[in-house]
Amino acid sequence: MTDRYRGQQKTRVQRGPFLGHTGPGRHMPILSEKPKDITKTLKKLFTYLGKYRLSLVLTFVCVIGSSILSLLGPYLIGKGIDDYIVPRVLSGFGKFLLFMFFIYVFNSILVYIQGITMAEISQRVGFDLREDAFNSIHKLPLKNIDNRSIGDMMSRITNDIDMINTSITTATVQFFSGILMLVGTVVMMFILSPLLALISLILIPLMVIATKLVSTKTRKYFSLQQTKLGEMNGMVEEDIAGLKIIKIFGREEEEIGRFKEKNAELRNYGIMAQKFAGIIPPLMNFLNNMSFVIVGGIGGLFAIRKLITIGTIASFINYVRHFTRPLNELANQFNVIQSAIASAERVFEIIEGNKEKEDSDELVEIDNIHKCIEFKDLWFSYKEGEYVLKNVSFQVPPGRLIAIVGPTGAGKTTMINLLAKLYEVDKGEVLFDGVDIRQIKKKSLRSILGVVLQDTYLFSESVRENIRYGKLEATDAEVEDVCRAINAEEFILTLPDKYDTVLSDGAQGLSQGQRQLIAIARAILSNPCILVLDEATSNIDTKTELSIQESMSTLMKGRTSFVIAHRLNTIKNADLILVINGGEVIEKGTHKELMRKEGFYYNLFVSQFGEITEN
């Protein structure tokens, strides 16, 4: 058996409040993460619920009212038997039945009101949480986002908030009404007959012990089922993503065999889990029926001796049924609420995470670069003490082309992220015309930057709207002019709807090079005074790249440009080349100057192009 997916055993797939929506498994709560600080999280959650306090008050008034009416029903049934049926008195019996009818109708109305009111509250709270969480994601520092998986972030906004919604809608009301019904039922039983109440409660410890014994086994197999489900989902996801590689290497049969093995394990553990979970409903039903037998038998003896009435026995049987139902509900809803609190903690981690500092009124705005951009004794680390940039210093006059080269992981992209104020500098300064970047408003700074990243991202919009994202007010003519300037229009006109072709699923229908051309057009359209190209042409063929370079040289005129490149032949005409290695600037100069030194840059160039015939 392979260990390939063993690392995925901790994956938990949550499909609802319970494992399985039908069958015996629905009685077992899903195993989930336990909350760390229940009190603190509940306080935060109640701040959201507090916005709808009037609706909450109405809901709980309805819950109290429906609980009282539910408790009143069995008592009235007993009174009806004793006052009308046993003595065979028909006078007033019709009014009594009409009164009972209105009690149950009114009870149903209260249940309906509490249901729709709580559903509205839960949706409103869910709306508020989703909005706050989504807003917070956009305000989190990029460093925080980099440390989280996309799947985890999405799960918090979707699955976790759905879990909170479910808990608010059903679990909260049922938990509260269950406690009321439990306490109220015991009180009514002791009012009617203390001795019969004590006798009927004898089976309760037996119910608890039996449920606990079965639950131990059930939890074990549900836990294993969840583990195997996570492993299988991980395998399916990986196989679908890597289907091309599987086919190329002819490993279809091996993957099918591995899936059969995982699927069989999941089936076996699922069967065992359902078998043990299936014991609980008939066991509880048996114990309930036994309690009815005890109440009926002993109550009958008491009635013969005229210690209690027939009506009291009928009321008791109803109250016994009312007693066991909230016990089951409380056990289930407690776990659901616990899961919801754990989900709320995960959501609040995003909402209350350290945000980017807001631009204050004291910060300055810039609209161009007149003197220079300067990195001065700059140090930066993603983890405290582990510097990825060390003592970086250089100056860039306006309108110059700066190339940054170096091996993978040297810190090239990090410099660009600092330039865009996506990260905060640890030590040293980044200066724009002598003004520290910390003193410049982010929105103002980024408005003069045009950035094209190596990993191109396109939205599920038309080609035109993706390009216009760089300048929302741009006309169609402006969009098309930019595309012609960088030779992107040639492939755009071959698309089904040309500029109006809608891109979906990350624009998988386009090649990586075509996606990068759209990203370059988007950056150029915004007419930035600083242009940043981070491996922007790495996935474009050499011919197209040279064509773009010619167009870009015209577009770069008058702009300060930073280019990160692995293809060193594309940066020969740069005004300044910075060679980064190990987070430090180890060489700088023009192409010819660096080639004469025969240092690190020279060796990089030779490794790409072999013998040097011309410097």
- Residues 215-235: tens digit of each pLDDT: 677 667 776 776 777 678 778
3-state helix, strand, coil in the chain (%, to 5): 65, 10, 25
Residue 15: pLDDT above 50? no
CATH of 450-527, one of 3.40.50.300, 1.10.645.10, 2.60.40.10, 2.30.30.100: 3.40.50.300
Q: Which long-range contacts (CB under 8 A, 24 or more apart) does 437-444 make?
A: 439/363, 439/364, 440/363, 440/364, 440/365, 440/366, 441/359, 441/363, 441/364, 441/365, 442/356, 442/359, 443/359, 444/364, 444/365, 444/366, 444/367
Q: What single letter denotes the amino acid at residue 526?
A: S
Q: Are 448 and 529 in contact (CB under 8 A)?
A: yes
Which tokens go with 501? 């072709």
C-alpha span between 161 and 126 (Å, rounded)? 6
pLDDT for the residue 4:
40
pLDDT band per the 50, 70, 90 thresholds, residue 340? confident
C-alpha span between 31 and 501 (Å, rounded)? 46
Output the CA–CA distances (angstroms, integers) from residue 39 to 333, 346, 382, 543, in the order listed: 18, 15, 33, 64
Residue 488: pLDDT above 70? yes
Q: Are 519 and 453 in contact (CB under 8 A)?
A: yes
Residue 384: pLDDT above 60? yes
Total residue length of the chain: 615
pLDDT for the residue 223:
65
pLDDT for the residue 174:
77
pLDDT for the residue 77:
84
End-to-end CA distance of the chain: 58
C-alpha span between 494 and 507 (Å, rounded)? 15
Residue 611: pLDDT above 60? no
Q: Are 403 and 571 in contact (CB under 8 A)?
A: yes
Which tokens go with 84? 């009308």
Residue 29: pLDDT above 60? no
Residue 615: pLDDT above 70? no
CA angle 256, 258, 264 (to 5 degrees): 100
In this prediction, residues 536-562 reach a mean pLDDT of: 68
Question: By CB neighbour count within 10 A (0-12 exposed, 13-18 middle, 19+ buried), where does 532 fall?
Answer: buried
pLDDT for the residue 472:
83
Between 337 and 448, the higher pLDDT residue: 448
Q: Is 51 helix (H, G, I), strand (E, B) or coil?
A: helix
Question: By CB neighbour count within 10 A (0-12 exposed, 13-18 middle, 19+ buried), where does 150 fall?
Answer: exposed
Spatial CB neighbours of 363, under 8 Å, sequence gap ≥ 6: 439, 440, 441
In this prediction, residues 508-513 reach a mean pLDDT of: 74
pLDDT for the residue 18:
30
pLDDT band per the 50, 70, 90 thresholds, residue 152? low
C-alpha span between 194 and 185 (Å, rounded)? 12
C-alpha span between 394 and 576 (Å, rounded)? 10
Q: Is 508 helix (H, G, I), strand (E, B) or coil?
A: coil
Residue 126: pLDDT above 80? yes
pLDDT for the residue 583:
81
Query: For the ranges 122-126, 356-360, 487-491, 574-578, which has the lowest average pLDDT?
Result: 356-360
Between 38 and 18, the higher pLDDT residue: 38
Residue 28: pLDDT above 50? no
Residue 21: pLDDT above 60? no
Q: Tell me what percent of the residues of the chain surpass a pLDDT of 70.
A: 80
pLDDT band per the 50, 70, 90 thresholds, residue 320? confident
C-alpha span between 163 and 288 (Å, rounded)? 31
C-alpha span between 192 and 311 (Å, rounded)? 10
pLDDT band per the 50, 70, 90 thresholds, residue 105? very high
- Residues 177-200: tens digit of each pLDDT: 888 888 888 888 888 888 888 877
pTM: 0.66
C-alpha span between 61 and 543 (Å, rounded)? 75
CA angle 456, 458, 464 (to 5 degrees): 125
Q: Where are the alpha helices (DSSP H) in 140-202?
A: 142-146, 150-155, 161-166, 172-192, 194-200
- Residues 243-280: tens digit of each pLDDT: 777 877 777 888 888 888 888 888 888 888 777 767 76
In this prediction, residues 135-162 reach a mean pLDDT of: 72
Q: Tell me what percent of the residues of the chain surpass a pLDDT of 90.
A: 1
pLDDT for the residue 109:
92
C-alpha span between 227 and 230 (Å, rounded)? 5
Mean pLDDT, all residues of the chain: 76
- For residues 116-125, one letter each, b for 16 or more C-beta atoms within 10 angstroms of the residue's C-beta and e for the rest, the string is ebbbebbebb
pLDDT band per the 50, 70, 90 thresholds, residue 537? low
pLDDT for the residue 590:
84
C-alpha span between 52 and 307 (Å, rounded)? 51
Query: For the ranges 132-141, 199-208, 210-219, 376-385, which has the lowest average pLDDT?
Result: 210-219
Query: For the ranges 10-14, 68-72, 545-549, which has the lowest average pLDDT?
Result: 10-14
Residue 1: pLDDT above 60? no
pLDDT for the residue 232:
81
In this prediction, residues 22-39 reach a mean pLDDT of: 47
Question: By CB neighbour count within 10 A (0-12 exposed, 13-18 middle, 19+ buried), where does 35 fall?
Answer: buried
**CA-CA-CA-CA dihedral for 499, 503, 507, 509, to nearest 10:** -80
Question: By CB neighbour count within 10 A (0-12 exposed, 13-18 middle, 19+ buried), where does 488 fall?
Answer: buried
Closest CA to 167 of 13, 26, 281, 332: 332
Fold of 36-193+330-355: ABC transporter transmembrane region fold (1.20.1560)
Which tokens go with 587? 């060489």
φ/ψ of 373, rounded to 5, equals: -105, 135
In this prediction, residues 132-138 reach a mean pLDDT of: 81
pLDDT for the residue 154:
76
